Amino acid sequence: MTETSEQSVRPRVLVGVDGSEDGLRATSHGAGRALRKGDDLWIVHALDDGVVAGGWGVIYDPTTLEEAGRATIAQAVETAVARGLPRERIHTDILVGHPAVILEELSQSADVVVVGRRAATGLERMFVGSTSTSLAATAACPLIVISSASNPGPTTTRRRIAVAVGSGRTEKTLRWACEEAVSRKARLDVVHVIQPQASTALALVSPPSQLEATWQSRMQGGLERRVTPLRKEFPGLVIEVHAIIGNPLDQLIAWTAKVDLLVLSVRPRPILGVAVGGPIRGALAHAMSPVALVR
């Protein structure tokens, strides 16, 4: 185990750990990715300065919190070693500050960030985890969110990755998904979902089923045109396109039951900056596979 005072020559997979099962799940996933891509693993535990100060006037002993942090880091390191990653490729840090802020800053020096989802049951699903949702909006590199509850088994067995695309610019997300699929020797499913169209004047001359078939055909053709350059760029990669009419969140959640990873785009908003909207929050809360967010 080495500290981060010396810069690694390899790209780094940054993992945030907090002592939870989800943190260890993120560590195992990050170690697997580091093994597959030849990267180093960077395990970070943040001592929340808000906790140290005490929200109710209680002052927590920083020494006690640091000892707990070292135990958390040690457990994560052993998890990575058990996954097969050599200790010399594992770097660790215990830092003081809000976890989301620290990981956001460190993400500028990472290839990808992996965090646990934490909230996985009951009403907690409505809120997911504050660190993962904050990082979804601010991380400088792609973010992978994984849950030990929803994703308890191996996450590379199906050899399928799905990437959801909309009508906007998603070239960066598509290319990242292609590279990820190639590294995993997986197939890539490109999915575009639109809501069923409300009745329009066209419905007076064409039955709804015929209209939906027309829209679906046009969507399928548009997707094929978008992936044609990628098929040339990644000749060994199997890319399938799927134009679907239905509720976007329901359809994407259904896809997570049959893939190893769902890749989504996070788009900047002109006034609020980068925000995590309802569909992405819903996907993070209910996905049955890890979710990657690319912006």
* Segment 148-169, tens digit of pLDDT: 777 777 778 899 999 999 867 7
Q: Is residue 90 one of the residues assigned to a domain?
A: yes
> Is 61 in the same domain as 194?
no
Same domain as 186, residue 139? no
Q: Which domain holds residue 104?
A: 2-146
Instruction: Answer whether 227's CB lies under 8 Å from 165's CB.
Output: no
Cβ partners under 8 Å of residue 107, min gap 6: 14, 113, 135, 139, 140, 141, 143
Residue 147: pLDDT over 80: yes
Same-domain pairing of 220 and 273: yes
**In-domain check, residue 192:** yes
Burial of 232 (0-12, 13-18, 19+ CB in 10 A): exposed
Asked whether residue 285 is assigned to any structural domain, the reply reads yes
Beta bridge partners of 264: 293
Residue 295 in any domain: the answer is no
pLDDT at 166: 82
The pLDDT score that the predictor gives to residue 197 is: 65
| pLDDT-based confidence at residue 16 (cuts at 50, 70, 90) | very high
Q: Are 42 and 91 within 8 A, CB to CB?
A: yes
**CB half-sphere exposure, 151, CA atoms < 13 A:** 35
Q: Is 151 inside a domain boundary?
A: no
Between CA 95 and CA 102 the distance in angstroms is 8
- Name the domain count of the chain: 2
| 227 and 135, same domain (yes or no) | no
| Count of alpha carbons within 13 angstroms of residue 223, beta-carbon side | 23
Q: Which of 3-12, 198-207, 216-225, 275-284 has the highest mean pLDDT?
A: 216-225
117 and 229 belong to one structural domain: no
